[in-house]
Chains A and B, each alone.
Chain A
Amino acid sequence: MNNKDDLVIRVAGESGDGSTATGEMLAQAAARSGLQVFTFRTTPAEIRGGPVMFQVRASNAPVRSQGDAVDVLFAFNQEAWDLHHADLVAPGVLLYDPENVTPPEHFSGIAYPVPIGRIAQQAGSRRGKNVVALAVAAALFGLGRSKLEDVVRARLGKKAALLEANLAALHAGMAYAQGLAKLDPLWLEASSEHERLVLTGNQAIVAGALHAGVRFFAGYPITPASDIMEGMAAILPEIGGAFLQAEDEIASAMACVGASFGGAKSMTATSGPGLALMSEAIGYASMTELPLVVVDAQRGGPSTGLPTKMEQSDLNLALYGGHGDSPRIVLAPGSVAECFHLTVWGFNLAETYQSPVIILSDYSLSFRTETVAPFDLAKYPVIDRQTPAAPLQPGRYQRYYVNGSYVSPMALPGMTSGQYTATGLEHDAFGHPDYSSARHVEMSEKRWRKLEPLRHSHDYVRRFGAERARVGLLCWGTTAGPCRGALFLAAQQGLPLALLQVQMLAPLPVDAIRAFVESVELVLVPELNYQGQFARLVQAELGIRVASFTQYTGMPFTRHAILHRVHELLGIDAPVEAPGSAVARA
């Protein structure tokens, strides 16, 4: 039997039929056994019905994208076969429920019939289809099969009767798999045990915010950000913080403004439609110099758009949303680990610079699970805002005193003689309204120049790949994953490629980007929106030309799509492996 160190299993079916649960438990079991996992899912925007799929990619090596092609398809219904068989590698392995699926006669791969409903029924677990499917998949392909009971206990162990039925289903599934003749060579098991965390992007954002000291959260339900709100609702009251489910996104953002004025580290989380509503509040925080952290888990737009698909099309809104000259900081994590990292730093930057910070995540990152090494918390200092030294002289406190750093110590309610009024009107050092030209010049410069050090920072870019390369990929957000995969594939072909992942979009770290751009001949900017929003930003800020590569399918890039574009750019007629052919993997 071949050991294969990279396996992609896609479980597909209908919303509510257990297929997603199968995928989730498979990922958990694989991660518990020591494998690295990366999951990807699509769901319909409606609550009941509609096709769903949950994909697990597992390896002993780091995995950074969802995988281009599918090794194993587990089809719960006919539609699952119809929608997904084209993504199977040739010849491919199919598991299917013969009660619902009839594979075509010309199917050249290896097919295993698995009557999951009947096996579950016979085991006395009417609702145990998902557990049967889990058992069969793990028995056939490895993947944390020693951890199945742990996972089922953790997930379904709350009620003894339910657990017993599910364990029966699990054992029935294993017994069924033992009766199958193994015809395919696919097998993947962990080569060693590692200490790892398994969590989603949204969970990492909640954890990062808590580590950074968040003590106030206000939000309004919206896909795909709602479970950030739910996580905060559960934990904040336990640690003396406050949580508010507000009446809309405007109220959410302004409640955070109020709490931040009071000294609490405050956060809200939303998606594009909510961020649009928060524009005025973000401008207010910019004008009054109040720390505020806003997470935007992007989905497809415009308007209600594609609520359960991914896109990187809120960049312009994050950068420019709001009237007037309103500076802000915009960060973009590219992985689950970076969700933690950049949320901690999002708070630190908000506090340091007394500025709104927008964190641009996306739908795929919100929900995907990854295995990550435990965070080295010693590397995550927590920074609090600067406050004026007591005692303050009555009537003398200057909230917006202009000093060398352009950041003025901020008095908090409760501080004697720190009383001032924050206003959205242009104001003088005391915060008193002042519309004079001289004051508007002075204060505009204060608000912008305080962020200037970040433009020259090298802390918010990550460079990967070859030191010397003709083509450099320049990307942001989760596109970094398939870009890194493309680097690996290119290296296997003997083609050196370089990559710069930009984690801070505003202020744009121009020095670091310029150094990268000057180290390559051609710059390719892959991103998931129609306009090429990031490419335009880079061109405008650096005065250079880049090749824009956009995709607007609601789906992430594949590594091959990016590599193919690189080949085109270089005029190389290289063999391009599409899904359906044997592919090397990273």
Chain B
Amino acid sequence: MAAETIPLAAVVRTPADYRSELKPIWCPGCGDFAVLAAIQQALAALQVDPKDLAVVSGIGCSSRLPAFLNAYGLHTVHGRALPTATGLKLARPELTVLAVGGDGDFFSIGLGHLPHAVRRDVNLTCIVMDNEIYGLTKGQTSPTSPMGHVTKSTPHGNRAAPLHPLMIAIASGATFVARGFSGQPRQLAELIRDGIAHPGFSFIHAMSPCVTFNDTYKLYKEQVYSLPADHDPRDTQAAIRYALESERLPLGLIYHAPRAGQAAAPAPQPFDTTRYLERYRA
């Protein structure tokens, strides 16, 4: 873009420039407000032009997020944000594409898509707002709910072990794996910013409590800690140790395999039907 032709004042965007005219429908205190704000800060930090921003989601409280952003949004069907975002990014590589949603979307109905999005390493940023509960359907157990968790669908306690989202991402070959927390929005914004800047698939696990059906703010505040300054995110073994922790929840860039930028895809070219059909000439 010919940036020098645009007055400087016009290109300096603030987080507020990424708000849409719609007000979020979330409950007061919902962790997703902080995630939305963090995304807006990350976008402002990178000065992404809203016309070149596309945000894809599935179904759930958190998946309503695209409509609250000044962006092209795709609020799709349950679980399918990643393949939809992959198709969009492949067709329009110059766009900044985010795939957002909840633990139900990415770890239950849509889990099958996650390893494939990871291994393709298409340049997307996946932000999972994990509240360990199905909120929109009013409180059923989720794939990240802890053992013994009592919900409407597990009145006698959850008997299935929770998934380790960070492990799934690392085991699938992700090159950027991070965890943030709604209660620490500044760090979350930095992780999202770095994830978007990462020239491949980036996975950001955002602990985002549901104040109505599973208020984990207090618990998380006791459990979370920032990764020590000497953690080397390129160290796979160390990353796996952190990813497997469940009593305490490390925050920050868990794993990072720096990678070269991807070659720009060639622009669509005209197609010569007559020439193509020559191959079928009798």
Contact = CB atoms under 8 A, between A and B. Distances in A.
Pair from one complex: yes
B83 A262 contact: no
A244 B90 contact: yes
Interface stretch (B151-159, B232-240, B264-272): B264-272
Contacts of A467: none
B274 interface: yes
A197 B280 CA distance: 5
A420 B51 contact: no
B73 A240 contact: no
Contacts of A421: 20, 66-67, 71-75
A248 B79 CA distance: 13
Interface in B239-282: 265-271, 273-274, 276-277, 280-282
Contact of B113 (A195, A251, A431): A251
Interface string A268-305: 00000000000011001000000000000000000000
Nearest to B68: A421
Nearest to A280: B77
B16 to A, nearest CB: 14
A33 to B, nearest CB: 8
B51 A422 contact: no
A414 B51 contact: yes
Contact of B92 (A263, A281, A377): A263
A216 B92 CA distance: 10
Given A239-B268, A246-B83, A248-B112, A262 B277 contact: no
Contact of B88 (A259, A284, A418, A431): A259
A194 B282 CA distance: 9
B90 A242 contact: yes
Interface in B55-92: 56, 59, 66-67, 70-77, 80, 82-92
Contact of A258 (B21, B83, B113): B83
Contacts of B87: 216, 218, 244, 254-260, 262, 266
Nearest to A214: B271
Given A211-B273, A262-B88, A413 B83 contact: no
Interface in A193-248: 194-199, 203, 207, 210-211, 213, 215-216, 218, 235, 239-242, 244, 246-248
B72 A210 contact: no
B22 interface: yes
Contact of A281 (B74, B80, B113, B116): B80
Contacts, number: 181
B98 interface: no
Nearest to B81: A254
A419 B282 contact: no
A261 B116 CA distance: 21
B54 interface: yes
A109 interface: no
Nearest to A37: B282
A501 B271 CA distance: 31
Nearest to B71: A419
A313 interface: no
Contacts of A248: 112
A264 B84 CA distance: 13
The DSSP consensus for interface residues of chain B is mixed
B74 A261 contact: yes
A264 B92 contact: yes
A240 B267 contact: yes
A413 B92 contact: yes
A395 B20 CA distance: 8
Contact of B80 (A254, A260, A415, A433): A254
Contacts of A258: 56, 74, 83-89, 91
A432 B67 contact: yes
A88 B280 CA distance: 31
B274 to A, nearest CB: 7
B52 interface: yes
Contacts of B91: 215-216, 242, 258-259, 262-264, 266
Given A258-B74, A413-B72, A418-B72, A239 B271 contact: yes
Contacts of B71: 419, 421
B235 to A, nearest CB: 30
A343 to B, nearest CB: 12
Nearest to B49: A416
B48 to A, nearest CB: 12
A203 B280 contact: yes
B113 A215 contact: no
A178 interface: no
B77 A395 contact: no
A32 interface: yes
Give 4 closest A-B pairs by Cβ, nearest first.
A421-B73, A255-B87, A258-B87, A258-B88
Interface of A: 28, 31-32, 34, 194-199, 203, 207, 210-211, 213, 215-216, 218, 235, 239-242, 244, 246-248, 250-252, 254-264, 266, 280-281, 284, 371, 374-375, 377, 395, 411, 413-425, 431-433
Given A216-B91, A242-B90, A254-B76, 20 more contacts: A194-B282, A216-B90, A239-B271, A240-B269, A247-B116, A254-B84, A256-B87, A257-B74, A258-B83, A259-B88, A259-B92, A261-B54, A261-B72, A262-B88, A264-B91, A374-B277, A413-B54, A414-B95, A419-B72, A422-B74
Interface of B: 20-22, 50-54, 56, 59, 66-67, 70-77, 80, 82-92, 94-95, 112-113, 116, 265-271, 273-274, 276-277, 280-282
18 contacts: A211-B273, A235-B276, A240-B269, A241-B268, A244-B87, A254-B83, A261-B74, A262-B91, A264-B91, A264-B92, A377-B273, A413-B72, A414-B95, A415-B51, A416-B51, A420-B72, A421-B73, A422-B74
